[in-house]
Structure 1
Amino acid sequence: MNIITKFQEIIAIQQNNVEASSGILNPPVSDSEIQKIENLLQESLPTEIKALYSFANGQNDDGNGIFFGDNFCRADEIIQQLEFSRSLIKPETKIIANPEQSEQLIRQIVDFYVGKAPKHKLFGLQKSWYKIAFECGPNRFGGPYIYASENTTGKERKILEIDWEELDNVSEIVKKLHELEQPAYKWDELNFVVYSNGKYEVERSAYDFDNQISFTSTPENAIQKKYFHYKWLPIFSDGGGNYLGIDLDPDAKGKKGQVINFGRDEEDMFVLAQSLDDLFDKILVRTAQG
């Protein structure tokens, strides 16, 4: 049996044993979509994957996932996930490509928060606060925290209340700055400290999930211990950011083309089979045994 026939048998087994209806297979993938995927992978797709997607470009969104509850990924979903994986790659040398434009946007962010702080008394001679600290990124904000004096501790600091609608205005500025600096710097978050004397500090920081999360590989050293990798090709999805897919860049003791689990909630990764064809064989043997 070829991989398409095996896949059809697996789908039939599920349909015969599960009352809930499953999604319907889509028509074959287009050549342009295959090319986009290969461009993101920087290599050709494995033969078995090309064969599978020449049969069907994933499934539609009606009903349950056709692979034991998991969805068969469409090409556009694969492309979106690979683009996300590539977005996590940080440049070795980080630079601010347009310092003047960046500084203008940063100044606008600072001015917004200073404008929300308590006004100084006696024509500015008596300071009402010492500093404001806050974090911001394209999709999140932290704080702002206001420190009354240089001796104010983290427990003593207070939240500076800002209306959510007003926060939308500064959010657009942060997004502009992020878009401006992304190609050459790729930060995820800005950490600001603004002082009452007009000075400020800003630190650009990036998430480091690969080292912050304790990933495991079974067998050991078969799978690279990463959050996501642009060489991990998603094939089946639980719909929540977790996948079964093809590993095209295994660790020292792994095999290229092995099937692995990975995703947002997958800290413990396993080699499930040496190839997708091998995985289908294992499933068919197991189901035949009952």
Structure 2
Amino acid sequence: MQSIICEIREKLKQVFPSFLNPPATELEIQRVEKQMNLIFPEQLRALYLLHNGENENGPGLFFGLPFLTLEDMLQEWKIWADLEEEYALEGDSYSIPTNYIKERYINRNWIPISKDYGGNHIGIDIDPDVKGTCGQVINFGRDEEIKYVIAEQLSDLLEFINHTLKNRNYSIHHEEDYTYWSYGSNQNIHYLDVIRSLELPVLKPIKSGNSEIVIKNWLEQLDNQWLEIVKKRVNNPIDFVKIKKLYLMRENLTNIEPLTKCTEVRELILSGNHMTTLEPLKNMLSLKKLYLAHTPITDLHDLVNLEHLQFLNINRSKVKDCTQLAKLPSLKELDMHETEIEDYTALTQCKSLETLSISIYNVKQLEAVSTIHTLKHLKIFELNDFSEVDLNLLGKLTQLQSLELVNSHLTNLDGLISSKTLREIKLKDTTIEDGTFLGKITSLKALELNHSSIQNLSVVAMSESLERFAGSFSQFNILKDLFHRTIDFSTIIGEMTDEESDIWHQYLG
């Protein structure tokens, strides 16, 4: 570590005034470790024992991004740690390579060593996924959905910086009183953008198996439709096979054979196309999200090897059999409403399934859904003409946290009264004749009525747990004075007259 830093320091002296701070002490490092409740990897400790970050006027050790002092590191870390409990799994996160970085938005075990002043960081990961290494260097932050292993260890990144300086593959930029540098000759590209096109991890890149010759041959065989698709998405056609998120919605595709080379895709949208086979997706082994809505796809057997697939949308497709879904070990979210599938029994074997969007037309289907004990979020379309006894089956979903009903007509849902986990109910274009159950579910926090009605709406005020209500003005007007505590009525669905708007704003205070 010391020799690498010494070489970097000497090379940067030729371009910039000295900017690296004096060493941190062992006591200073221990104080930060104690506040973070974690232990620095040895290479991180060694770096700070050489230099405690860089001064405010520094050019950014990490290709224009500053090397944080321990104090700045701690402040940035605290911001994320304070948000972790509520937002850790917010949004989509993708690890490149797959299974190296835990796919979370926030992880208090990511230590920021640099920042871009926009909420994004280069960091040290001390809580890697199953294939990762403790101490690996990663990107994370507000805009960093796709997280890369930049380097297997901190010394590799520093050696890469050293090589870049030696090869003069960098640019110097002057802005008023500020001078900084960036990776690449005659370029001014944010380093967190640069990493998307670099072979990573630096020094020890993981090869995809697609050689340049293979890719060029592949490009030569593309028809005009696919050449146009490639041209619209990348400047360099060779980069197309490295794409991680590929959106091909309504491209009028009948042939998706060119996707056989796109093995690094994590999120793929093919909705609204006309292909009849998914065979070209067999080798997309890292695929995490797949959209096949409004397609003529009839079966899913070509997906059974996609062990990392967590989200699948087949709504309004021609799929007739869901048996293959039970072979997807990571499947957490499934949208399959308005399909031609009649037998839902296989869904009970989807051991990771937590979110389901589905149409239910008969009691057997309802029975099958009610035995998916892992379900936390359920959205049902067309739940009509069921008896009270049938509907009580939903009470068997003991992990259910949210229920949404669309275009349905029900007498009641008394079977949910005993639920200890149900926190949110949404109704859209739905009628419930007797809503008494809503006042008795002790876990219910939020109720939304979107162009929906409950004939005895006032019973909602019996709820001792409800915190938020969203509905029409007339529904708000019925309920606003019935509660003996403050309820969040800040969302009105639909239009209001000027007079109604005044009443609502006056109520909100």
Report the RMSD for the aligned CA atoms in angstroms. Answer: 2.3
Identify the residue that residue 144 of structure 2 maps to in structure 1. Answer: 266
Change (3 A) 1:68 1:31: same
Q: Tell whether 2:26 aligns with 1:37.
A: no
How far apart in 2 are the matches of 1:9 and 1:228?
34
TM-score (norm 1): 0.52
The TM-score with structure 2 as length reference comes to: 0.31
> Quick one: structure 1 residues 262 and 11, their matched pair in 2 at CA, closer, same or farther if it must change by over 3 Å?
farther
In structure 2, the residue matched to 1:113 is: none
Give 1:148's aligned residue. Answer: none
1:215 to 93, 117, 132: 93
Map of 1:32-71 to 2, 5 A cutoff?
32-71=27-66
Question: Does the aligned pair in 2 maintain the 1:243–1:261 contact within 8 Å?
Answer: yes
Contact 1:57 1:74 in 2 (8 A): yes
1:273–1:63 CA distance, 2 compared to 1 (3 A) = closer
> Deviations along 1:187-215, whole A, 9 cap, x unmatched?
xxxxxxxxxxxxxxxxxxx5x3623x221
For structure 1, list consecutive stretches of 5 or more residues without a partner in the other structure: 91-205
Contact 1:22 1:66 in 2 (8 A): no
From the superposition, tell whether residues 220 and 72 of structure 1 become closer, same or farther in structure 2 (CA, over 3 Å). Answer: same
Distance 2:130 2:55 in 1: 37
Equivalence for 1:167: none
Q: Where do residues 195-234 of structure 1 align in structure 2 (5 Å cutoff)?
A: 206=86, 208=87, 210-211=89-90, 213-234=91-112
Query: How far apart, CA to CA, are the structure 1 residues paired with 2:26 and 2:39?
Result: 12
Contact 1:23/1:61, CA 8 A, preserved across alignment? no
Aligned mate of 2:2, from 1, 4, 16: 4
Secondary structure of 1:79's aligned partner:
helix
Give the SS at the match of 2:84: coil
SS for the counterpart of 2:47 is: helix
Paired AA for residue 2 in structure 2: I
Of the two structures, which has the highest relative contact order with CA contacts closer than 8 Å and spacing of 6 or more? 1
Q: Helix, strand or coil for the counterpart of 1:246?
A: strand
Equivalent position SS for 2:149: strand
Residues 85-112 of structure 1, C-alpha deviation per residue, up to 9 Å, x if partnerless?
Answer: 221233xxxxxxxxxxxxxxxxxxxxxx
Q: Deviations over 1:117-136 (max 9, x none)?
A: xxxxxxxxxxxxxxxxxxxx
Match of 1:237 among 115, 120, 129: 115
Distance 1:8 1:238 in 2: 25
Match of 1:189 in 2: none
Q: Which amino acid aligns with 2:119?
A: G
Identity among equivalent positions (%) equals: 38
Looking at structure 2, the residues matched to 86 and 216 of structure 1 have their Cα atoms a distance apart, in angstroms, of 20
2 CA distance for matches of 1:283 and 1:65?
12
- Distance between the aligned counterparts of 1:24 and 1:255, measured in 2? 31
CA distance in 2: counterparts of 1:25 and 1:68, whole angstroms:
14
Whether contact under 8 Å (1:222, 1:251) holds in the other structure is yes
- Residue 89 of structure 2: SS of its match in structure 1? helix
Is residue 253 from structure 1 mapped to residue 131 from structure 2 by the alignment?
A: yes
Partner of 2:21: helix, strand, or coil? coil
User: Residue type of the partner of 1:78?
Assistant: M
The offset of 1:14, in angstroms, is: 4.3
| One-letter amino acid matched to 2:23 | P
Could you tell me whether the CA contact under 8 Å between 2:88 and 2:107 is conserved in 1? no
Aligned pairs, number: 168
Counterpart position of 2:81: 86
CA distance in 2 between counterparts of 1:57 and 1:285 reads 23
Deviation of residue 74 (structure 1)?
Answer: 0.3
Instruction: Look up the SS of the partner of 1:89 in the other structure.
Output: helix
CA distance in 2, matches of 1:48, 1:36: 18
Higher-Rg structure is 2
Q: How far off is 1:271 after superposition?
A: 0.3
Question: In the TM superposition, what is the alpha-carbon distance from 1:15 to its structure 2 partner?
Answer: 4.8
1:76 aligned partner? 71
